[in-house]
Amino acid sequence: MSQLYVHREPISGPGAWRAADVHADQSWIYTLTAADIGELERAIAQAKKEGLPTTAIRSRHFPLPSFAAKIAQVWRQLEHGRGMAIVRGVPVDRYDPEDLELFYWGISTHLGIVIPQNSKGDLIGRVEDTGVKWGEVRNGEIMRGYVTNATLPFHSDTGDVAALLCVRQAKLGGLTSVVSSSAIFNEILANEPDLLETLFTGFYYSLRGENGGGVNQVSSYRIPVFDYCDGNLNGRYIRRTIQTAAKMGGPALTDLELRALDAMEKYSNSDELRFDMMMEPGDIQYVNNFIVLHSRTQFEDYEEPARKRLMIRVWLQVPQGRTLSRPHETLFGEKTPFLTRAQAMAKEGLVAA
């Protein structure tokens, strides 16, 4: 077994931001111009001529001769900048649901490879309240937070990048927040450095029944909360799934582990670190899961089904994404219903460099 490396130097650079830094900097917000939208609409028309289902569309079917340069800027922001970006101004009311999906999907194909978000293989996910309870077991699966109206505390999604297109806001609540994992690391290094070894060692995760092995299945190895790899600090944290693993199938959490999780909770929610934003209809929020954590508050919907809060989600693996250590690369093991970056690239006929 390789020896654990615990990084003990502060992290600097644009990814180690605090709330005031991103308030003062709007360069991570990209507003669509009329010319961008015109180009995207021509790409939609072109893609439709292919006669393919939306999820079979690839970037070659969706030509973006000028806008592709803006997508490349979004990627640089996600990987080398703040680890998050907003693309603002998708005219969500102008299109029928099929064209809106194609608009969003088409942009996604220029950013990376879309991967499934659950064992059913959904590539385009609806984040909305379906009336189920978070954590209840239905048909051998543990219901996930994104199909409820519950507060979702700070966490990472699966894959390199998670994207959310806001179609409709809630009547009340549903505030999104983002926090830099490196900024949390810096606080823990400064204030509670005795917790770092536990956080670099990591935790077992519940597989939530998604691997077909039953609800008690947990990851076969610990997944680090912080991992220093190839000159980057990478974060990965879902307290709820760690606690589910400890309750169902995995070893109980020690006092030190609970203290480490409490510290993650405390610093991720701190006013100095956390950045809040209310997503507006037409905003696409992109996050690099290894650089930032995200959360959203509980919400209350309007009565009418057509007015209920709706976010459309895609998860992306990015071929030119940062180097990851094995536990971060294969989060759900080799037989993942999601696709690792290497698996996603192989499926698309791309080979890792």
CA distance 196 to 180: 16
- CA angle 21/286/263 to nearest 5° reads 60
Pick the closer one to Fe ion by CB: 157 or 301. Answer: 157
CA distance 325 to 224: 10
Kindly state the smallest distance separating residue 151's Cβ from Fe ion, in Å.
Answer: 12
Pick the closer one to Fe ion by CB: 163 or 189. Answer: 163
Q: Which stretch binds Fe ion (CB under 5 A): 49-57, 126-134, 152-160, 275-283?
A: 152-160
Kindly state the smallest distance separating residue 157's Cβ from Fe ion, in Å.
Answer: 4
Pick the closer one to Fe ion by CB: 79 or 157. Answer: 157
Kindly state the smallest distance separating residue 133's Cβ from Fe ion, in Å.
Answer: 18
Helices 255-268, 181-191: crossing angle, 10 deg rounding? 120
Pick the closer one to Fe ion by CB: 195 or 331. Answer: 331
- DSSP state for residue 176 in the 8-state scheme: E
Q: Which stretch binds Fe ion (CB under 5 A): 81-89, 113-121, 151-159, 170-178?
A: 151-159
Distances from the Cα of 7 to the Cαs of 123, 182, 191, 271, in angstroms? Answer: 36, 11, 15, 25
The CB-side HSE value for 231 (13 A sphere, CA atoms) comes to 4
Beta carbons within 10 angstroms of residue 145's beta carbon: 18
Q: Which stretch binds Fe ion (CB under 5 A): 47-55, 124-132, 150-158, 268-276?
A: 150-158
Nearest Cα neighbor of 280 from 172, 171, 168 is 168
101, 128, 129, 157: which one binds Fe ion (CB under 5 A): 157
Kindly state the smallest distance separating residue 294's Cβ from Fe ion, in Å.
Answer: 6
Pick the closer one to Fe ion by CB: 157 or 257. Answer: 157
Kindly state the smallest distance separating residue 240's Cβ from Fe ion, in Å.
Answer: 11
Pick the closer one to Fe ion by CB: 48 or 239. Answer: 239
For 4, the enclosing helix (H) or strand (E) is none
Q: Which stretch binds Fe ion (CB under 5 A): 54-62, 149-157, 192-200, 247-255?
A: 149-157
Distances from the Cα of 61 to the Cαs of 1, 42, 58, 74, in angstroms? Answer: 46, 11, 5, 21
Kindly state the smallest distance separating residue 97's Cβ from Fe ion, in Å.
Answer: 22
Pick the closer one to Fe ion by CB: 57 or 147. Answer: 147
- DSSP state for residue 45 in the 8-state scheme: H
CA distance 346 to 113: 11
Kindly state the smallest distance separating residue 289's Cβ from Fe ion, in Å.
Answer: 9
- DSSP state for residue 238 in the 8-state scheme: B
Task: Give the nearest residue (CB) to Fe ion.
Answer: 157
Beta carbons within 10 angstroms of residue 307's beta carbon: 13
Residues in binding contact with Fe ion, number by CB under 5 A: 1
Given the rule CB under 5 A, which residues bind Fe ion? Answer: 157
